[in-house]
A and B are shown apart, each in its own frame.
Chain A
């Protein structure tokens, strides 16, 4: 039964009182105003009923970000002992329409916590990520599911699929890091070296793609390796005439480290690389590379 079919004759709606000169008034749909009028009346009695449940649905239809209504809905669902798997279906439909709504994702988390059943969650987030592989809400939720229910095993292969589709998907690269370093089973040194090689392979496919550069540097920082392992890659790319500001920037870091250890030659190379970046290959960050040059020049 829908909201309109219930008997509301016993309910005296309470109007919103905005005072004489309100700020940021909204041209509410009359249906929303009516439903909110009933909500205010029911909320005073804290009524948990079937009609109250349909009322929350009506309000959510207009305003899916109404966190108070979601809170009210949760209380009704639990006190009426409703089938929470039906609620998961309801959420699925809602997420299709509002994939970036904080309240919806949180509501799903509350329901799944109550159900203590995560069997539908991996496929659910996968579906949403198929539509938008960078949906921050979906990734946040997916990480919560993995941590809460210890679902680490298949995450790398899931990430692999997404990276095959779009190697520039930074969210997927981040998830790769999450799957390895937030996993309670710590990776071996050998595994990390393989990861660096994996990243290098992906860099070679698209040297201007910042995501694997950041990822590889992140893995190196967690391993016994040093950033110098990227020197050969950076130089080879440049010698092949492939200009990547990320490769040149990485060389600046390497040269600066060595200049600080006393290498005059590498200090000069660092300065020259900064000039290349500032004047030719990364001009939008010209002021930054000039600053890095200034830092290099100041090394005694």
Chain B
């Protein structure tokens, strides 16, 4: 264990830069910095969700602990302004006119002039916020140290009401696209960060998640669909944020078994599929959310006395018995997907910013000093900022 933790540590100086089997921190920082500034043409098909691409790089640099050292406060302020420029605010004269489209867009593609205070008056026929973009805009703002004071919280919560379907799921925009577990998660994470769940019919969400649990106790994008690592994360994290984990999972033990059964070397997203970098996060984070429950019920209560007597014994037992992942095998798999400073989906393919972020997030879950909040998918530092500026706790 100890050698593994040493190897996985982001903070220790990396002396073996040429050894591909060891995580190269500096090259990864360079990769994220490039992606933050400029993305090549293949990303054209991500034009509507640039906010998410920005989040991957910002959160990656944050997890690596270099956001403040790599950039000046002036640049960070510029980026905060760019994010706010994507906010659609209620119309000044008639708030009802655009109430369904309030929130954040992914980029300025709809054609309004740049305004760091967001757009208020002129509503365009094809302009609209998007739940996933609002989620990554809020997380990015928290990561950049913003206090969310320019976010129109009630407008976002109000617009969200129009995005929930009868079956409990959410769609991403009012323009009526597909609805599934991804946007259930976005709605829950946004509500949690804004400390207001009144935009969600919680009973319907819990019901949707229950119905989406498959016969193998993984969770699909919707009822009847195959269990999938991504949708399982979205469902578990949503339940956790709603404080409904007990009610919403049909069998926590069996879901945990489904999750750990996905480890082949790295993690696969579905049974009998090859391992893929991003599931180190989706599966790993799901397990962490579940563990927080398991630890309390199964372990901490009976061993509370022992804990008081002997702290080191307690710690050792937790690591040995309850973190079911084989760290070394996952780490080694992740290292085979590295090239050009990034991570790719599979060994031998080109890296991209999403898989690079998921690789770094997956690695940070395995660190001894946990740096990632698994349910919100932000650093503990960003979470602390949230607690300070929204929940007013120091």
Contacts and interface: CB of A to CB of B under 8 A. Distances in A.
For chain B, what secondary structure do more than half of its interface residues adopt (helix, strand, loop), or is it mixed? loop
Contacts, number: 200
Nearest to B323: A287
Interface stretch (B10-18, B216-224, B232-240, B336-344): B216-224
For chain A, what secondary structure do more than half of its interface residues adopt (helix, strand, loop), or is it mixed? helix
B44 A26 contact: yes
Contact of B110 (A68, A218, A294): A68
Contact of A64 (B45, B109, B261): B45
Contact of B214 (A67, A72, A174): A174
Given A26-B44, A28-B44, A134-B273, A21 B82 contact: yes
Contacts of A214: 215-216, 271
Interface residues on A, range: 35 or more
B178 interface: yes
B271 A18 contact: no
A288 interface: yes
A287 B225 contact: no
A17 interface: yes
A182 interface: yes
Contact of B272 (A67, A209, A288, A291): A209
A25 interface: yes
Nearest to B269: A136
Interface in B170-196: 172-173, 175-178
A202 to B, nearest CB: 13
A176 to B, nearest CB: 10
Contacts of B43: 26-27
Contacts of A177: 214-215
Contact of A25 (B38, B114, B223, B226): B38
B112 A43 contact: no
Contact of B46 (A26, A46, A285, A288): A26
B263 A285 contact: yes
Interface stretch (A86-94, A98-106, A115-123, A269-277): A98-106
Contacts of B126: 43, 68, 71-72
A139 interface: yes
A16 B111 CA distance: 5
A54 interface: no
A174 B226 contact: yes
Interface string A66-77: 111011100000
A24 B272 contact: no
Interface string A21-45: 1111111110010001000110110
24 contacts: A14-B111, A17-B112, A21-B81, A21-B82, A22-B82, A25-B39, A32-B44, A43-B126, A65-B47, A65-B49, A71-B126, A105-B178, A139-B226, A140-B221, A140-B222, A210-B271, A217-B215, A217-B216, A222-B215, A284-B265, A285-B260, A287-B323, A291-B322, A294-B321
Given A65-B49, A140-B221, A285-B326, 11 more contacts: A14-B111, A19-B85, A28-B47, A29-B41, A43-B124, A65-B45, A65-B46, A67-B177, A68-B110, A171-B270, A209-B272
